[in-house]
Structure 1
Amino acid sequence: MGKKRSMAAMTAALVAGSLLTGVPDAGARAAGSGADSASPPSGSPHAPGVDLDTVTIPELQTRMANGSLTSSALTRAYLRRIENVDPKIHAVLRTSPTALRQAAASDARHRRGKTLGPLDGIPVLIKDNVNTRDMPTTAGSLALAGSPPRTDAALVTRLRKAGAVILGKANLSEWANFRAAKPTSGWSAVGGQTNNPYVLDRNPCGSSSGSAAALAASLSQVAIGTETDGSIVCPAGMNGVVGHKPSLGLVSQSGVAPISAEQDTAGPMARNVTDTALTFSVLSEGLPARGAAAGLGTGLRGKRIGLWRLPSLGPDVDAVMTRTAKELRKAGAVVVEVTPPYQARLAELEFPALLSEFHRDIDAYLGTREGPRDLAGLIEFNRAHPEERSCFAGQELFEQALAAPPTTDPKYRAMRAELKDLSRRSIDETMAGHRLDAIAAPTNPPAWTTDCARGDNDVIPSSTPAAVAGYPSLSVPAGSVDELPVGLLLMAGDRQDAELLSLGAAVEHRLKAWRAPRYLPTLGSGGPR
């Protein structure tokens, strides 16, 4: 797939590419222009001419470098949008009391010409299962709602060293959707229910629901999500934004509330691929990435993409995939239909393995925090606190994990070894057999209605191969069904994150599928349920 290059080379190429190709067509709403009922008041003097929906990090850095914008003005604009818009969607748990001080420090660096990189002065929201020393980190649970962690997560330290403005914490599906057998994504006892900005009675998908919904509503420039299987890419797809699940190990999980060390990773989310890639360049532990930015340099001509249609997601989603394939072919890509093997076996093995890993890893994490000291204590906490059961009562996954075999058990070890082997083969064999640059699939169905009694309707198999293999995946907007966004999920081999981001930027530029949400209260009776 080309010679190895550094993340710095990828960053430089993506910055250049964004300035040449732009981003998807701008929406109607600009910071301070008041173009819809959820927008800030008109006439704001603080961020003149900045369209928060469509501006990219390179464009912001250009303006901060020439003095026509400050990080302080940008941060205030986002704080105002949170104040005015977030009551509709409940995506932001809290804003940082030091956000404006962080922005002022960035402004001083910009004046001196001593900036720290592409994220210097850029507001970032952090999912609330990622430790922040100056704000509570709860994983959505009242059990952790007391004192903040003693130290930042490693990825937050990297963001701070890069000059990013830690704007606040985003709501999430409590315990990253690994508590109840039938959870409701986007709900936590701490933050309540996050709504989908496109249609407010629809679900944002889990578990990085607040991160994705906040981006769709332009409440931050970028956000951090986490994924075990689908929890970055599904919210990205369902909220019409971009989400990158990195290759396992490229982003440190130190200080992040876990499900499984064998699959967990944090990753960047944004409204465009350029900002996503620039954030990844800061989060990444600096391991080599291949292919720099070939997709931005050469577009889609000659790229080979395998389309995994997944008709189980319904005819409307399949129609979006048909239109997507047509657009990619018109741009010169070769699109062939594929079905990655071994999916039934992966579905059979993944959940039992995660139960054993969760028991091991959550006990280790709770040992670093004030509150329940282990999973058994957490179960007792939930039984004693009715607020934890105000949407759904169950904690069946906690109870099953408590009884699961330990990770020293030979049967568990055989299960995880088979999972790793088959998931990697499912991608490697498909890509090699068809000489592919990537595999593409629908990220998500149209968002279902949020219903605490019913729970989610989220059997979405596209994220599983890359999630279990530890390979990268990337969701970009592909289209919509009625008002509800549908993403295109791109997958590639291990450590091919840079190539995937480059290809994703080219796909994004071709499809131009992004559009601003309208905050509709509901859909008509003919819409998807």
Structure 2
Amino acid sequence: MKRSLASLGLLAALSVPASANPAEDASTAAQQYSERIEALDDQGPEIGAVIVHAADAAEQAMAVQDSTLLAGRTVLMKDNIETREWPTTAGSLALKDNATGRDAPLITRIRENGGVILGKTNLSEWANIRDNNSSSGWSAVGGLTRNPHATDRNTCGSSSGSGAAVAARFAWAAIGTETNGSITCPASVNGIVGFKPTVGMVSRTHVVPISATQDTAGPMAQSVHDAALLMSAMAGTDPADPATVEADRNARDFTQGLAEYSLKGVRIGVMVNQVGSRSGVTALFNQARADLEAAGAELVEIEYDWPDGFWPNSLTVLLFELQRDMNAYLATLDDPAMPDTLADLVAFNRANADEEMRWFGQDLFEQALETTDEAAYLEALEMVRKATQEDGVDRLLAENNVAFLIAPTTGPAWATDLVNGDNFGGGIGAGSLPAIAGYPHITVPMGAVEGLPVGLSIFSGRWKDHDVLKAGAAYERVRTAVLSEPSFKPWKPVELPAGD
């Protein structure tokens, strides 16, 4: 029987009374998460974050061994990651029946470590690579995902459903994927923690791809500790993914040392050109800076600008890899009814334009079909890697003798507009540097502008995942900003105290 909305505690985290039976606790939590999905995602405010969820999650959690790492905790999965129970659609009607019956290796690891796969989350269709004028949070399969903090506001990035689901407390945690900002942006605007690991720390096998050089899955959670715990369960080498050859060497219990890590004497680079022009975001960032300094960190202001010609080269890399890697993924699908190539997807969208292209087109897909010059791709790839790694993050860390780089993650969520598409703006954020370099990046909530969450980005060099998580946990402990809670209502201005 469904419980009333009032009994679900909209503004409070799920609280499961501790008992002598941890499996029973996990089962109770799984049942409560399922009830919240039914009450708040499928009806009520209709957040639209979850495409499908397991009816037997509570039973699955009860059956998990208490000694496992995750001990029955529930995890929602972005719907471009294969799970044996449900189709993997990437949000597209072209793959609505893509039931492979196989688990991605990262799913296998989570299950083996005691995690319960609660369901699939909506995403920006094809992870937001189909068209320049897309609206984040929309897919033909899942419809529109709404921001729990303001239901008329956007959820950002392609892992929109995962971000909204964690913010709405539909699961203990969720998995997103990122090519360029698609974990960190939705985490920031939904007021949660998002961690994009080093590319190669987590397997990409059986994950619908965009770019072999930039794609990675990563955890989205309510706290840095929970994100680190989920990372511990999913990281590791996969023989089928050459990028992960060093993962076992660098994987570990990422929760170790989080509580003890001190910022005293730690030098941190401040990306001043990436703070942007919005006064509310700047005020929050200055408060975060003050918190870090009060904890003993030494802040060093750094000026950085993208090199000339960078973005056209970056697009060349993405489009070449999109066609190559998408074709390779589609070739693994046994169902003869499934598309075989990116060209098939373009043709499908044209044939189903009323459902697939009502709001935006497929210009990036079409450009990718024409981006076939391998020599030009390799030249662009060399330039992009050098600019973001050797001359980018690595240089900034070394020349300024800093351990981490920080900036606001992005601005507050904009009003969703399916007709005109996304409205980023403000020149805020440095997340493209670690995304394109393939380096670890965490975003941690640092407050809100008019009730709309904004995150603090912390990133560093290759395989510095544990260090970045420890820095994120240290900031989380010393943060003085008041965080907003989801309202599950449309946005309205925050009431100021009398006299202001």
The counterpart of 2:221, out of the listed 266, 270, 293, is 270
- 5 Å-filtered alignment, 1:31-180, equals 39-41=6-8, 53=13, 63=18, 66-67=21-22, 69-86=24-41, 87=43, 88=45, 89-106=47-64, 109-110=65-66, 115-117=67-69, 119-180=70-131
Distance of 2:214 and 2:96 partners within structure 1: 26
Rate the CA distance shift 1:219–1:344 in 2: closer, same or farther, 3 A. farther
Between Structure 1 and Structure 2, the one with more helix by share is 1
Q: 1:247 offset after TM fit, Å?
A: 0.3
Question: What are the ranges of 5 or more consecutive residues in structure 1 without an aligned counterpart?
Answer: 1-31, 43-49
Matches within 5 A, 1:117-516: 117=69, 119-285=70-236, 286-288=248-250, 293=256, 296-309=259-272, 310-342=274-306, 344-369=308-333, 370=335, 371-389=338-356, 391-406=358-373, 409-424=374-389, 425-458=391-424, 461-511=429-479, 513=481, 514-516=483-485
Give the conservation status (yes or no) of the 8 Å contact 1:130–1:137.
yes
**Partner SS for 2:276:** helix
**Cα 1:521–1:221, aligned 2, differ >3 Å: closer, same or farther?**
same
AA matched with 1:522: W
Give a deviation string over 1:243-283, Cα, whole Å, max 9, x none.
00000100000010000001000001101000000000111
Q: 3-state SS of the aligned residue for 2:324?
A: helix
Aligned pair count reads 472
Q: Offset at 1:169? A: 0.4
2:243 corresponds in structure 1 to none
Shift of residue 511, structure 1, vs aligned partner:
1.0
Which whole-Å CA distance do the structure 1 matches of 2:68 and 2:495 have between them?
51
Partner Cα distance (2:417, 2:495) in 1: 18
* Displacement after TM superposition at 1:336 (Å): 1.7
Change (3 A) 1:195 1:41: closer
User: CA shift at 1:351, angstroms?
Assistant: 1.3
Q: Tell me if the contact between 1:491 and 1:500 (Cα under 8 Å) persists in the aligned partners.
A: yes
Q: Are the aligned partners of 2:349 and 2:357 in contact in 1 as well (CA < 8 Å)? A: no
Cα distance change, pair 322–41 in 1 and its aligned pair in 2 (3 A)? closer
The structural deviation recorded for 1:312 is 3.1
Name the stretch that deviates more: 68-77 or 159-168. 68-77
Instruction: State the Cα distance separating 1:185 from its structure 2 match.
Output: 0.1
Return closer, same or farther for 1:144/1:40 CA change in 2, 3 Å cut-off: farther
Q: Over residues 323-355 of structure 1, what are the superposed CA-to-partner deviations in whole Å (9 max), with x where a residue is unaligned?
A: 111111111111121123545543332112100
Query: Structure 2, unaligned stretches of length 5 or more?
Result: 237-247
The answer to which of 336-345 and 461-470 deviates more is: 336-345
Aligned-residue Cα RMSD (Å) equals 2.5
1:229–1:65 distance in 2 versus 1, CA, 3 Å: farther
SS, match of residue 312 in structure 1: coil
Partner in structure 2 of residue 19 of structure 1: none
Counterpart secondary structure, 2:431:
helix
- In the TM superposition, residue 295 of structure 1 has moved relative to its aligned partner by 5.5
Does the Cα contact within 8 Å between 2:447 and 2:484 map onto a contact in 1?
no
Which residue pairs with 1:521 in the alignment?
A: 490
**What secondary structure sits across from 2:174 in the alignment?**
strand
Q: Which moved more, 1:516-525 or 1:87-96?
A: 516-525
